[in-house]
Structure 1
């Protein structure tokens, strides 16, 4: 384990064994709503409601770290607690192989969505529960029932379903062919041919690329597309690194692909 104290961040580099210790998992689970899951890392933001929990975690962390590295626990704890109000980033330094986690997404109707894991996974469930928060009607160790009766909840659903990486897990969502029809039945674009699960996933990703809600009108898609291509057109990049140019080129091509596909069904 390595801890780096920065002005605006507490960076903890560790392995998965430490991450799975009860006191670490307890802290991260409690702060799931204030946590950003990243590939190989989690970022925990401050929440005043849990300030005591945060202090207790940092005290436990300082004791654990000081013993492992033969440091003065008192001195290190004092330094660590000065940053109580700063984000905490936990970064994995030794990665296991990426593991796929299968998740089924089922729309009962346009108001209710069930999300189920084929096999329980605490980290993925913590991620999902933290993301959906107030929209959760019921939950178990491996399933969540969501209230998606308003546009904001649907926007949250679309955003979350476009996120795949949680630590060393990669989420694979599956849908039945009537998913979009049941969930967005009010939109005429879904009164056409049914979409298979893979195509549903692709369409939802295309809407996300264009930064539009699923079912957006052609005019809305066109407006967003024109705005984004002005930003990401490769000709607008000057004196940038090759990596940045490649990023803009790929984004520009993806925008074109997304708009070409969605304007046909809109």
Structure 2
């Protein structure tokens, strides 16, 4: 953001994604009787309201600019000396430049992670907040602290990775930090499984139930299902202790469910 003294205006250049822009527009439209909203600018033409214009420029300079940047701005004394001129708030799109934001993942503790931006960016932060609003614990200008206990969280994260360009901001995910999380002692806690989608987790669990692996063909899976179904069929323990019957019944149901899941996911036709 910067303030310029032009021949016909005092011009305030503000990025469309600046936190200051909505406040500046609201102030201009509410307090000046001759303010006009155009597609990419706001014009304040009140020649007879210089005190209000002085106040607005003072507010813009000392509150708005100190939060962002005063680079290339005119001095405050020069600005006030020319406050008789119309004020133009110019909204800058900055779509010609793609800003690169690197996002890394850090495990705070089991079930809680932080997404860390390598530098503050309002648009990137707003976008991430909207995506992870259901998992948000807290945030600051560069970090989002998130509840990662739910499988849904990792579904959302995986979906986000495929959407890298948001307006003029490129979100680059630091995959090395994701790998480091898995190497940091979380393998045994099931943390790595969070990188899988729900269907992938179901597939792996179903194969595990049938004592199969990802490389087995359908015929092998089917034969293994038949073997286990015979072995754990409740009829084999009919009349025995109720606990044994219930154990076989539960195991048999798990085997059947795993087989049906695999048929569905592997799109087997009969």
By the TM > 0.5 criterion, same fold?
no
User: Highest CA radius of gyration, 1 or 2?
Assistant: 2
Taking structure 1 as the reference length, the TM-score comes to 0.41
Taking structure 2 as the reference length, the TM-score comes to 0.40
